[in-house]
Structure 1
Amino acid sequence: MGLEKEKESSGEIVDIKVLKELYGFVKPYRLQFYFLVFLTVALAVLAPTRPYFIQVAIDDYVALGDVPGLIKIIYLLVGLMILQAVVQWAHTYFSGWIGQVIIKDIRIKLYRHLLKLRLKFFDNTPIGRLVTRNVSDIETLADVFSEGLAAIIGDLLQLVTILGVMFYIDWKLTLVSLCTLPLMIISTYIFKEKIKVTFNDVRNAVSNLNSFLQEHITGMNIVQIFNREEREFEKFKEINREHRAAHIRSVLYYSVYFPVAEIIQAMGVGLVVWYGAVGVLGMNIQVGVLISFIMYLQLFFRPIRMIADRFNTLQMGVVSSSRIFKLLNSKEHIANEGNYKPERIEGNIRVEKVWFAYVDEDYVLKDISFEVKKGQTVALVGATGAGKSSIINLISRFYEINQGHIYIDGREIREYELAILRKHIGVVLQDVFLFSNSIYHNITLGNPSITREQVMEAADLVGAKKFIERLPGGLDYNVMERGSTLSVGQRQLISFVRAMVYNPEILILDEATSSVDTETEELIQESIEKMMKGRTSIVIAHRLSTIQKADQILVLHKGEIVETGTHASLLELGGYYTQLHQMQLKTMAI
């Protein structure tokens, strides 16, 4: 029950291809995005104004005792602070708003894409990893807009603006102020590289944790049946330790970097105070200039400290984006190029020289050919792994054929529009899946065109009406996750109703009665015969007693049809079918 752990590199900070794809989701909100860019520029321009006007207030009004002028400059400062606060609020709101509407659109597109993927994709991909893509990775994209790209652009513009003002006021004092800048850049670069790897480890750890939890909670009955609780718990603790270790490493780097950055900033302020104090005493530098430079340094080093963190936020957003777009661009979907949309079909099926493999050329079906006329019933029998379920999966186009053709009413199934093809095929599987919702929803699957009366008519047909009426709320009874509040037989009966309520012309029963007890099987066997009446039916059954009336029985062995005929004719052959029949008789006798 092991899981393949996810390991992906952190990639480059700027991936042009990914950013282009991401911009495609920004296009519908161009006006809001451009307004956000404007706000970003406005914040960068407003940032150095407060220290500048404080310098003017001290040197031009306080030093000269000009009280009316000082009051005016104070009013101006208050107005600028209010304006900056409003702009900052708008910037924060719009960056968050754009991030949320974009991830909403991406999540919808990603889920729609998942709905179209072929089953082979889900066979090879852990569900927990897909949950991570649809939830955690997409959430990371919101940070790209609120804390990543827009914030980095704003920080860079602010740095340029502050430097320009500082050089304009006093270039010598500016050069002294920047003496510690190389140390800040070096420490920031080291931090960025370290945290980049750590962030990627955290993302991988989250994905592995989600995958493990999803698989093991779903399969908890197997874990407990085989007494594997302690072993699986040890595996979980190991994955959880890796998750904790990745987070602690990131905390460690933050705990080291920010104090170091504070020390470097303090050193820069100390140099400014020392050099500025000497200049003030020598009457070369005004007091207001010195005070403003101390404020400028705080404004200057703050975005430098934050920029490494923002670059990693942007980088993780790019990594998450590349993972999401890799999934979105995957070609693992059933090609829906058919345009044939009949209202009804006759139900004639012809399978012609079909070869199929789930993996490469490891064929599970080899040169399969048979034909089912309208209204006939064909039964597929054989040992586990003989290829029975593969045949019905191909007819419904859950998987694509490697070689050969399947025709319905003389038309290749690829010619049918996919939804229309499946609309005419009713499938009842052995493993019944029910959603955490009402019985009515599980039968109609949210189709508003199916009335409650139609549901109860179908339930009456298959013998499910009585038990549904006995439940609290009847059709409104919530079956909970995977139908846990119902018995296996009741879940199977609901699957019968679900298939019949759509009134399909082709009916497929895949071990449909194997999960019910003998009494329940006898109860619904007559109903199954009513269901199959007038319909083309394909039945897979281990219990040969349920298929004795089939018009044709195909015996499969290792992916090939080894015998064909009716129940009586196959028994006369004395071959593989006869062996299966005798084995079941012995089992029943025991």
Structure 2
Amino acid sequence: MSTEKRLYQYALTSKNTIIIALLLLSVSVAASLTGPFIAKTIIDNHISSIDEAWYVTDSGGQSVEYAGTTYTRSGNLTAAEQTGEPIYIHQDGLDFYVTSTPLPDGEIVYQDDVLQVTNSDGTFEAAAQTLSTDQVMAFYQPEIQPIIMLLGLYLALIVGSSFFQYGQRYLLQKSANRIIQRIRTDAFNHLSRLPVRFFDHLPAGKIVSRVTNDTEAIRELYMTVLANFFSSAISIIGVYIALFLLDVRLGLITLVLLPILYLWMKLYRKYSVDYNRNIRSKISEINAAMNENIQGMPIIQAFNREKQQASEFERLNKEHYGFQTNMLRLNSLTSHNLTGVLRNLVFVALIVVIMGGAGGGGWSSFLTLGVIYAFVDYVNRLFEPVSQIVNQLANLEQARVSGDRVFELMDKDGTDVDDTAIDRPRGEVAFNHVSFAYKDEEYVLKDLTFQAAPGETIALVGHTGSGKSSIMNLLFRFYDCQKGEILIDGKSTKDISPQGLREHMGIVLQEPYLFTGTIASNVAMENPNITREQIERAIDLVGGTELFKSLPNGLDEVVQEKGNTLSSGQRQLISFARALVADPAILVLDEATSSIDTETEGLIQKGMESLKTGRTTFIIAHRLSTIQDADQILVLNRGEIIEQGNHEELMRLDGSYAQMYRLQKNEAS
């Protein structure tokens, strides 16, 4: 499904709000577009209408007294009321003249009570009298009240339009925020469905950028871009309707803008897509670099790598600046410049029409001053939304590219969370001819076979890269093996819900990860089913009661991100308690005591015997002195088991394990 269709589907989730907003927008645009029509009416029917024929009538609200006789403008009379010989008013700049004979437009000369008009058809004369300022105002007096009423109507429409404008903007922005909330929630929830393998190949900063920066760009699409596009489209439609109501021929002239605008948008999109894609990609890389530098700042400073890291960051920054500059050139070339050219071309076409009419063969005889004013006003109003559309094209393409990136993340194959509960396993674990590769055929585990009885402690030892952690990854179903099978109580792990299985498993890593909150919330992992008493009991079992009592707030002590305010021993004790509070059937200790001081390790070791009771425990350890009491010790080398047995058996075998044990013992002594 295309990005546009998916964005449209998300928009449908707030369709009622959007429809109401568009209705308000339509009313607002219609109200604002009445302005030129009202201005045309004022000009043609009330200001310029003074040059119409004036007929002798009885006194009335729309009559004017001149030279002892009452006159009324023909526009205010019916055809039956227009009787007798009328008078005519001609204007020359600020001078006004009265004649009993109509004269055409042209160059006016007044001399010796004779008004002479000259144009291309010849010279015309008529007896005339000048009008004083008071007499001119008297002829305009009947038009003042209608003009005031029309201006009042226009003001009311503008005020009403502003209220509708506010309503549509509020509703559109509200719907945009709601849509982005749904997209971000869906994207975040999908992350929990993705396999661990996905996170091995994509830096955290790039993932964060897609869920935050890219969704923010999509928010601009719904909140700003589409709002402008909707309002601009409705405005353009309204302006065209008004233009055709004014004069069909003038409306046809402006129709040529539509194909030009369409071609313009196509060409813009052709060149802008790559620029925007590169810009968003560089933003992700910058976020990833920032995340990596902040996480590794102690190492960077310890090894004096500040200048090198700054240089690498500057390289990314310059590349981003280069793409932004290319985008800026494109926007500068295709925005205001082109709209100005098109507007001027329309005005040139209008002048040609008028000049053609002045030559005797055009349309100017059909164009009143009010129509020309309204046409110019509407053309200016037409280019306002056109300019808005053009100026939003960059944001539109940014949003489309960001949508591609977000939906690409959401399209990654994931596994639905299966909350199907299973009975607590007895803890029997069997690996039958298991082979596993992270990539293609590069196997890191090769034909492994071993079995752990319920309640046994299995130790995994070997050099770095021998496959110890990979066994744990398979056991927790972070990955699935390509060959062989793993059985829990005789049932293949592939036939068990991963979430249901992990509900009965606990793990303690070499580097414990703590979340922002308190010590208690990190132990319970925000599980409402875990009581305070269970948390305290788990802390006591790992020997941490006395250690955490020294903190000002005890178990309610605030934990910052990663638990940086706590010692490594305190963090590891919390990790132990977290694994034990759910009473797991299978417990995994992955180098769990390697970063703990001797005193803290002693506290943990005191509770380990009781912790192992009723649990199958897997221990990954480099310090062989901590696993001497294990029921089985598996010695791994390059993904294969090369030795297997308990401590005494392996020492009698005098192989790799015995050699490693004696070497560590000599180093310790």
- TM superposition score normalised by structure 1: 0.90
DSSP-derived class of the 1:116 partner: coil
2:195 to 109, 118, 128: 118
User: Does the CA-based 8 Å contact 1:334-1:400 persist in structure 2?
Assistant: no
Structure 2 residue 31 is matched with structure 1 residue 31: no
Partner of 2:218: 141
Q: Return the offset for 1:38.
A: 3.0
1:413 alignment partner AA: T
Label 1:245 to 1:582 Cα distance change in 2 as closer, same or farther (>3 A).
same
Partner of 1:314: 396
Structure 2 residue 380 is matched with structure 1 residue 298: yes
Label 1:20 to 1:261 Cα distance change in 2 as closer, same or farther (>3 A).
closer
1:203 alignment partner AA: R
Alignment of 1:419-498 (within 5 A): 419-498=499-578
Q: Return the offset for 1:585.
A: 2.0
What does the per-residue CA deviation read over 1:36-59, in whole Å, with 9 as the maximum and x for residues that have no partner?
A: 343454455445322122111221
Q: Return the offset for 1:545.
A: 0.8
Partner of 2:319: 242
DSSP-derived class of the 1:375 partner: coil
Label 1:304 to 1:398 Cα distance change in 2 as closer, same or farther (>3 A).
same
Partner of 1:559: 639
Q: Return the offset for 1:326.
A: 1.7
Distance in 2 (CA, whole Å) between partners of 1:534 and 1:120 is 32
Partner of 1:327: 409
Label 1:244 to 1:312 Cα distance change in 2 as closer, same or farther (>3 A).
closer
Label 1:289 to 1:440 Cα distance change in 2 as closer, same or farther (>3 A).
same
2:616 to 512, 532, 536: 536
Q: Return the offset for 1:558.
A: 0.4
Partner of 1:288: 370
DSSP-derived class of the 1:555 partner: strand
User: Does the CA-based 8 Å contact 2:508-2:579 persist in structure 1?
Assistant: yes
Structure 2 residue 48 is matched with structure 1 residue 63: yes
Partner of 1:509: 589
Of residues 343-352 and 548-557 in structure 1, the stretch that sits farther from structure 2 once superposed is: 343-352
Q: Return the offset for 1:254.
A: 4.1
Label 1:188 to 1:280 Cα distance change in 2 as closer, same or farther (>3 A).
farther
DSSP-derived class of the 2:558 partner: coil
DSSP-derived class of the 1:554 partner: strand
Partner of 2:283: 206
Q: Return the offset for 1:27.
A: 3.6
2:169 to 80, 92, 106: 92
| Higher-helix-fraction structure | 1
Distance in 2 (CA, whole Å) between partners of 1:435 and 1:190 is 49
Label 1:455 to 1:324 Cα distance change in 2 as closer, same or farther (>3 A).
same
Q: Return the offset for 1:259.
A: 4.6
Q: Return the offset for 1:130.
A: 0.8
2:510 alignment partner AA: Q
User: Does the CA-based 8 Å contact 1:386-1:559 persist in structure 2?
Assistant: yes
Alignment of 1:337-356 (within 5 A): 339=420, 341-356=421-436
Label 1:489 to 1:154 Cα distance change in 2 as closer, same or farther (>3 A).
same
Partner of 1:82: 159
What does the per-residue CA deviation read over 1:359-393, in whole Å, with 9 as the maximum and x for residues that have no partner?
A: 11111111111111111111111111111111111
Label 1:79 to 1:530 Cα distance change in 2 as closer, same or farther (>3 A).
same
1:320 alignment partner AA: S
Q: Return the offset for 1:212.
A: 1.0
What does the per-residue CA deviation read over 1:411-433, in whole Å, with 9 as the maximum and x for residues that have no partner?
A: 22233332221111110110111
Q: Return the offset for 1:472.
A: 1.8
DSSP-derived class of the 1:509 partner: strand
DSSP-derived class of the 2:630 partner: coil
Of residues 565-574 and 23-32 in structure 1, the stretch that sits farther from structure 2 once superposed is: 23-32
User: Does the CA-based 8 Å contact 2:419-2:499 persist in structure 1?
Assistant: no
What does the per-residue CA deviation read over 1:391-411, in whole Å, with 9 as the maximum and x for residues that have no partner?
A: 111111111221221111222
- TM superposition score normalised by structure 2: 0.80
DSSP-derived class of the 2:447 partner: strand
DSSP-derived class of the 2:635 partner: strand
| Higher-strand-fraction structure | 2
Distance in 2 (CA, whole Å) between partners of 1:232 and 1:98 is 42
User: Does the CA-based 8 Å contact 1:349-1:372 persist in structure 2?
Assistant: yes
User: Does the CA-based 8 Å contact 1:144-1:313 persist in structure 2?
Assistant: yes
- Greater Rg over alpha carbons, structure: 2
Distance in 1 (CA, whole Å) between partners of 2:26 and 2:587 is 64
Partner of 1:550: 630
Partner of 2:209: 132
Distance in 2 (CA, whole Å) between partners of 1:503 and 1:389 is 22
Partner of 1:107: 184
Of residues 198-207 and 385-394 in structure 1, the stretch that sits farther from structure 2 once superposed is: 198-207
Distance in 1 (CA, whole Å) between partners of 2:172 and 2:604 is 60
Partner of 2:469: 389
DSSP-derived class of the 1:355 partner: strand
Partner of 2:240: 163
Alignment of 1:405-416 (within 5 A): 405-416=485-496
Q: Which has the higher contact order (CA 8 A, sep 6+)?
A: 1
**Percent identity for Structure 1 against Structure 2:** 35
1:317 alignment partner AA: A
Label 1:347 to 1:478 Cα distance change in 2 as closer, same or farther (>3 A).
same
Q: Return the offset for 1:439.
A: 1.0
Distance in 2 (CA, whole Å) between partners of 1:27 and 1:190 is 29
2:144 alignment partner AA: V
DSSP-derived class of the 1:358 partner: strand
Of residues 210-219 and 251-260 in structure 1, the stretch that sits farther from structure 2 once superposed is: 251-260
Distance in 2 (CA, whole Å) between partners of 1:21 and 1:256 is 31
What does the per-residue CA deviation read over 1:264-298, in whole Å, with 9 as the maximum and x for residues that have no partner?
A: 26634753774587669976532211211221111
1:533 alignment partner AA: T
2:576 alignment partner AA: F
Partner of 1:20: 5
2:8 alignment partner AA: Y
Distance in 1 (CA, whole Å) between partners of 2:546 and 2:610 is 18
DSSP-derived class of the 1:534 partner: coil
Label 1:297 to 1:192 Cα distance change in 2 as closer, same or farther (>3 A).
farther
DSSP-derived class of the 1:435 partner: coil
Distance in 1 (CA, whole Å) between partners of 2:188 and 2:478 is 18
2:167 alignment partner AA: A
User: Does the CA-based 8 Å contact 2:32-2:157 persist in structure 1?
Assistant: no
1:241 alignment partner AA: K
Q: Return the offset for 1:172.
A: 4.8
Label 1:252 to 1:19 Cα distance change in 2 as closer, same or farther (>3 A).
closer
Partner of 1:569: 649
Distance in 1 (CA, whole Å) between partners of 2:164 and 2:475 is 60
Label 1:464 to 1:571 Cα distance change in 2 as closer, same or farther (>3 A).
same
What does the per-residue CA deviation read over 1:89-118, in whole Å, with 9 as the maximum and x for residues that have no partner?
A: 222112211111011011111111111211
Q: Return the offset for 1:136.
A: 1.2
2:614 alignment partner AA: G
What does the per-residue CA deviation read over 1:13-70, in whole Å, with 9 as the maximum and x for residues that have no partner?
A: xxx6223323333343232232234345445544532212211122112333422322
Label 1:146 to 1:522 Cα distance change in 2 as closer, same or farther (>3 A).
closer
Unaligned stretches of 5+ residues in structure 2: 50-139
Label 1:441 to 1:163 Cα distance change in 2 as closer, same or farther (>3 A).
same
Distance in 1 (CA, whole Å) between partners of 2:334 and 2:552 is 61
1:54 to 39, 55, 58: 39
User: Does the CA-based 8 Å contact 2:217-2:399 persist in structure 1?
Assistant: yes
Of residues 44-53 and 380-389 in structure 1, the stretch that sits farther from structure 2 once superposed is: 44-53
DSSP-derived class of the 1:63 partner: helix
2:404 alignment partner AA: S
| CA RMSD between the two structures | 2.7
What does the per-residue CA deviation read over 1:530-587, in whole Å, with 9 as the maximum and x for residues that have no partner?
A: 2112211111111111111111111111001111111011111111211211221232
